[in-house]
Amino acid sequence: MDNRTVKIDPKFLSAQPKKTSSDAEHISRLRPSQSPIAISLSRCPTWSSLDPLKFKGYWDSNANAILLNNGSTAYFTFNDASVRPTLSGGPLIGEYIFEQMHFHWSVDDFTGCEHVLDGHGYAAECHFVHYNSKYESLETAVGHPDGLAVVGFLLETVDAPNPRFDRLVQGLEGIQKRESVMNVTSESLLWMDREDLQIGNYVTYKGSLTTPPYTECVTWIIYEKPVQIGSEQLGLLRQLEGPDSQPIERNVRPTQRHPPGHSVIYVKQVRSKL
Ligand SMILES: [Zn+2]
């Protein structure tokens, strides 16, 4: 055997270059805060490199659902556990399962939203609550920083009714009394199907539930452009009765202070090349 020293190419000795983390991973490590918050868009870092958000099986599943007046809000959920709309993409790692939708509102058209973008207030805010599919239930997911993803839509009142809210409105008409329930279908979610869902700008940050126990387990996604709803349609929310059979006047948590080092990302979605 020849006893030569074998020269090894240095590139085989150096460690493999570290895989750079994705934008979604970066967002997942942001410091959480209490929610809701007031956001100044011009102060947020703007990103356009995130994957598009993917909403699967929400309004077009033809599935049975219920709409409930639980005494504090109008609450929508599918009553068949096998119907599981899913949300993925954007700032999310993995898939999140839709659990329920509910509303926040107030007595006027400007203080009914929880999140405030550039100082604009709106009549209401709708939340789509999802839990991370790696956990077995929403209750388990709440115990983890990556447990929940909540999509928020700001609702702006206009004079003319929005026909896409017709199915939801039919349900709201039947749940004026506290603890009343209406059988509805996935068509109550038709109004969320708009072009903005795929290409609209949104803000995302790590925050908390806006109702007790205010756990910091939520990746928030708030669309910038409000959804228009007729004044009379929105008025049905204000007629829902809470405890004491009085209309629920306000179910909005005030905006919370951002802690130092907290970050909100302004995401510009780009049309996917499909
Ligand atoms: Zn909410």
Q: How far is the CA of 217 from the centre of ligand 1 (A)?
A: 13
Q: How far is the CA of 272 from the centre of ligand 1 (A)?
A: 29
pLDDT digits (tens, 9 = 90+) for 215-233: 999 999 999 999 999 999 9
Residue 220 within any structural domain of the chain = yes
Of 227, 254, 262, 259, the residue nearest 38 (C-alpha): 254
Residue 251 within any structural domain of the chain = yes
Q: How far is the CA of 157 from the centre of ligand 1 (A)?
A: 19
Q: How far is the CA of 230 from the centre of ligand 1 (A)?
A: 21
pLDDT digits (tens, 9 = 90+) for 152-204: 999 999 999 999 999 999 999 999 999 999 999 999 999 999 989 989 999 99
Q: How far is the CA of 149 from the centre of ligand 1 (A)?
A: 12
Q: How far is the CA of 216 from the centre of ligand 1 (A)?
A: 14
Residue 36 within any structural domain of the chain = yes
Q: How far is the CA of 128 from the centre of ligand 1 (A)?
A: 8
Instruction: Output the domain CATH number for residue 131.
Output: 3.10.200.10
CA distance 7 to 235: 80
Q: How far is the CA of 252 from the centre of ligand 1 (A)?
A: 8
Higher pLDDT, 26 or 273: 26
Only one residue has tokens 């109008």, namely: 74
Q: Which amino acid is at 219?
A: T
**What does each C-alpha distance from 250 to 5, 103, 229, 240 come to in angstroms?**
80, 11, 18, 11
Residue 112 within any structural domain of the chain = yes
Residue 3 within any structural domain of the chain = no
- State the average pLDDT over residues 62-87: 94
Residue 261 within any structural domain of the chain = yes
Q: How far is the CA of 268 from the centre of ligand 1 (A)?
A: 24
pLDDT higher than 90, residue 130? yes
Residue 13 within any structural domain of the chain = no
- Mean pLDDT value across the chain: 92
pLDDT higher than 70, residue 18? no
Q: How far is the CA of 129 from the centre of ligand 1 (A)?
A: 8
Residue 81 within any structural domain of the chain = yes
CA distance 150 to 131: 9
pLDDT higher than 50, residue 17? no
Q: Read off the pTM.
A: 0.91
Q: How far is the CA of 73 from the centre of ligand 1 (A)?
A: 9
Provide the residue range defining the domain that includes 127.
Answer: 28-267
Percent of the chain with pLDDT over 70: 91
Q: What confidence score (pLDDT) does residue 4 get?
A: 57
- Decide if 267 contacts 204 (C-beta within 8 A): yes
pLDDT digits (tens, 9 = 90+) for 97-123: 999 999 999 999 999 999 999 999 999
The residues placing their C-beta within 5 Å of ligand 1, an ion, are 127
pLDDT higher than 60, residue 5? no
Q: How far is the CA of 113 from the centre of ligand 1 (A)?
A: 10
Q: How far is the CA of 160 from the centre of ligand 1 (A)?
A: 26
Q: How far is the CA of 5 from the centre of ligand 1 (A)?
A: 69
Number of domains in the chain: 1
